[in-house]
Amino acid sequence: MKIETKPILTRFPLVLLEEIHKFQVGNAIANRSSAICELIRLGLPGPKTTLLKFEDSSSDSQKIPMRIPTSLLAQIDQYQEKNHITTRKNSIIELVRAGLTNTQI
């Protein structure tokens, strides 16, 4: 069964892209989009989730094209609304950072 996905383009700080790559390689994940989706899932609120506040202080960033399952996008949008985050991009980056934090606990 094919999972419905939606293409999105998000700008990530280069430092965060390095951490995503380490996570991807360390967990033998086939591609960057899948690694980002897994980190978002890990970052979504649940037991022992430490939420990080996002501050965009880095001008060094890169646009990343991804395909995200629509069911995961709905969870991201709910998270964005519940936490009063202004953009989906900021929600995604916050969740990826939280997911990386949760993998190091």
Q: How many residues make up the chain in this entry?
A: 105
Phi, psi (degrees; rounded to nearest 5) at 9 = -125, 120
What tens digit of pLDDT does each residue of 14-38 get?
999 999 999 999 999 999 999 999 9
Q: Report the number of distinct structural domains present in the chain.
A: 1
Residue 56 has pLDDT above 60, yes or no: no
Helices (H), 9-83: 14-26, 32-43, 70-82
Q: Classify burial at 69, counting beta carbons within 10 Å of its beta carbon; exposed 0-12, middle 13-18, buried 19 or more.
A: middle
Q: What is the pTM of this model?
A: 0.79
pLDDT confidence of residue 60: 85
pLDDT confidence of residue 27: 94
pLDDT class of 74 with cuts at 50, 70, 90: very high
Determine the structural domain holding residue 69 and report its residue range: 5-103
Residue 48 has pLDDT above 80, yes or no: no
